[in-house]
């Protein structure tokens, strides 16, 4: 079960939210409700309060900061407010640090947004323990971005970790290099398929000779990881 399932919904502005934001929150397992202005955010607030808020400030900054102010400037302020801003808006944040806990540049990469939300919830103590993906002796901690095999830490770069995590989530399924590029690196990545081959080679080396065959090459197609389903839990 994801940490998101244990908390009240997130307030999300605007209504409707950008499609990529809605898709990212859904795939990450977060419950959320779109709100169009500060009044609606307060009117539809759950009994136990919002678990947090994701506010897109790039389209309507005045309304976005108004919602942030309404959620924070009260007796029981909403914690875990994540602001999505454009690069041109960074200067506007200098005098508004009290209205949000973290910000993410828009357009954003879904993995970065997920990581920032996990960090916010982890920092404020929500949840009972780290969310992990386990595949046999392989364990990936989704909050700390650490990986270990048989209690031996793996020294992975960010993208090596992300690729291994993606493989472990879909064992037995074959992915082309192009699919891996779009799902792991993102649609905006302009590198070629060789990028996947290089990272696979490095991952195999770091897994060690005994476990390198977990990532199998499917000739003329792409790659496949293992054969069984992972166990996801806490």
E strand or H helix at 12: strand 10-13
For residue 79, the domain's CATH number is 3.40.50.2300
Residue 209 DSSP one-character state: T
Task: Judge if 85 and 40 occupy the same domain.
Answer: yes
Task: Judge if 163 and 213 occupy the same domain.
Answer: yes
**DSSP sequence for 105-163:** ESS--HHHHHHHHHHHHHHTT-SSS--EEEETTEEEETTTTEEEETTEEE---HHHHHH
Q: How far apart are CA 96 and CA 74, in angstroms?
A: 16
Q: How far apart are CA 106 and CA 95, in angstroms?
A: 20
- Reported for 208-216, long-range contacts at CB under 8 A and 24+ positions apart, including other chains, are 208/149, 211/138, 211/149, 214/138, 214/167, 215/167
Q: How far apart are CA 186 and CA 24, in angstroms?
A: 13
Task: Judge if 154 and 182 occupy the same domain.
Answer: yes
Q: 93: which 2 tokens?
A: 């944040």
Task: Judge if 136 and 105 occupy the same domain.
Answer: no
Q: Provide the domain count of the chain.
A: 2
Segment 164-175, tens digit of pLDDT = 999 998 888 899
Q: How far apart are CA 153 and CA 58, in angstroms?
A: 40
Segment 21-39, tens digit of pLDDT = 999 998 888 899 999 998 9
State the pTM of this model: 0.54
**Residue-level pLDDT at 73:** 84
Q: 183: which 2 tokens?
A: 């799902």
DSSP three-state, residue 189: coil
Flag residues of the chain having pLDDT under 70: 1-7, 122-130, 187-191, 227-234
Q: How far apart are CA 140 and CA 144, in angstroms?
A: 9
Q: 54: which 2 tokens?
A: 């994701």
**Residue-level pLDDT at 225:** 93
Query: Which domain does 148 fall in, by range?
Result: 132-233
Task: Judge if 187 and 117 occupy the same domain.
Answer: no
Task: Judge if 113 and 9 occupy the same domain.
Answer: yes
């Amino acid at each position: 079960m994801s940490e998101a399932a244990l908390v009240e919904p997130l307030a999300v502005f605007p209504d409707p939210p950008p499609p990529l934001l809605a898709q990212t929150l859904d795939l990450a397992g977060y419950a959320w409700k779109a709100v169009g202005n500060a009044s609606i955010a307060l009117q539809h607030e759950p009994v136990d309060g919002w678990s947090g808020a994701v506010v897109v400030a790039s389209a309507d900054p005045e309304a976005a900061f108004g919602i942030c102010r309404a959620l924070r400037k009260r007796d029981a302020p909403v914690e875990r407010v994540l602001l999505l801003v454009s690069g041109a808006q960074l200067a506007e944040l200098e005098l508004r640090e009290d209205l949000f806990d973290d910000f993410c540049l828009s357009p954003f990469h879904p993995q970065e947004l997920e990581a920032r939300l996990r960090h916010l919830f982890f920092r404020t103590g929500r949840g009972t323990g780290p969310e992990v993906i386990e595949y046999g002796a392989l364990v990936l901690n989704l909050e700390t971005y650490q990986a270990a095999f048989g209690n031996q830490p793996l020294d992975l770069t960010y993208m090596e970790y992300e690729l291994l995590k993606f493989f472990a989530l879909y064992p037995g399924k074959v992915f082309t290099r192009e699919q891996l590029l779009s799902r792991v690196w993102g649609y905006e990545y302009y590198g070629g398929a060789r990028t996947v081959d290089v990272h696979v080679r490095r991952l195999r080396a770091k897994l060690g000779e005994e476990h390198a065959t977990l990532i199998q090459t499917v000739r003329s197609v792409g790659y496949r990881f293992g054969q069984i389903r992972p166990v996801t839990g806490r």
